[in-house]
Structure 1
Amino acid sequence: MAALRYRCAPDPPTAADRTLLLLHGWGANAADLLPLASVLAPTYQAYAADAPFPHPYVTEGRMWYDLSQHDGASESLLLDDRATDLATSEAMLSQWFEELPIDLSRTILAGFSQGGALTLSLGLQFPFAGLIVFSGYLVRPPTPRSPCPPVLMIHGTADPVVPFAIAQASYRHLAAANVPVRFHPLPMGHEINPAAIALAQSFIACH
């Protein structure tokens, strides 16, 4: 299996006590999201992965799965079982988690939008210190490990890309599966605004 491409900050990596992993959204890439690390957790070693698939419209953009194959905008939460792109991304990320020189129990995994979907679909199965989901959603019923990492979900009530109702449905599914999740609605769109950053900073400081 091919290895994921990624960027890190600082580069080259330092022997930091804690780590932040970042997963970008649909059409973005690692370079887009990596600057967020210096705001969220300036003392952490940060890594941002490039999704394995090229975006169909954005030249330098990447995607974790093809939205045309999946019903990601319904409360069913379920992707097309015949599609393999999500499984490929999950397998490559799992390999990445294992190969990075990090302690997962001292690592926060954070993702935006489609990256937030991957954070939930995969992150619940690993012993992370915590998961942060910006404008994300579940793509399948949750399968948490025990003990399960705590989850912070932040979503805009005016999000035109991932409707707020989808985030609410995802939160209900997580809570029903006994995932320790906190859900914070904010008056914003599909974005990471200063209020969202402050919530994430507080979560990171506690985990």
Structure 2
Amino acid sequence: FFQRTSKLFLSERASWVQLKEFARKNAANTLSVANMVMGMASILSSLNGHHYAACWLVLIGYLLDLADGAVARRLNACSALGAKLDDFADFTTFGIATSLLLRTPNILDNILCMCYVLSVFIRLCFFSSGIPFMYRGLPCIYSSAILACLSLLTGGNMAVLRLTAVVMILFMVSQTLYPHDRVLESQAWKKVIYAGGIIMVFCSSFPPVCLYYLL
């Protein structure tokens, strides 16, 4: 009886250890998948005319993307799969979903949408600075956050969004170096600001709160 009980206990303990290891390895991947889900939800919202929701879903994806890399490094769970998932999620949320915020029946606006998606694709595929803690070209996550916030603040004013999108495209494909600011691994005050960003999601019925994401 004692031997069977001991074996059962050891088996359950081993299963628990395996479960913890699985959770450690996939915590960051879960955040990347959640980011992709936000992007797909934003796409559907845009296609169904729910512009306000589409913008906020992009901003939620922005928060998730800031977290996934930090979680992977903190848990020592960086992997090739994680990097691919992150790129797919970024392309979905900050490429396709964000471009649809610019969509109108106007053919020129549709061309602008395609140019924006293409610039995000180029940014993700080909722009690696080779310099630690530096980006070459403005990261698409920031350009998307700016567009989503301006869309909310201006009520979807297309003149403002067109101009901003063109500027963001130029910044993304530029050769300018930008510092890699690891928000969740930096000073404590930046972590507090990040936590504030999460709280702002629950105040999304009040459009001006999106100004917080431009800090």
What is the TM-score when the length of structure 1 is the normalising length? 0.29
Higher strand residue share: 1
Higher helix residue share: 2
Greater relative contact order (CA < 8 Å, ≥ 6 in sequence): 2
Over alpha carbons, which structure has the higher Rg?
2
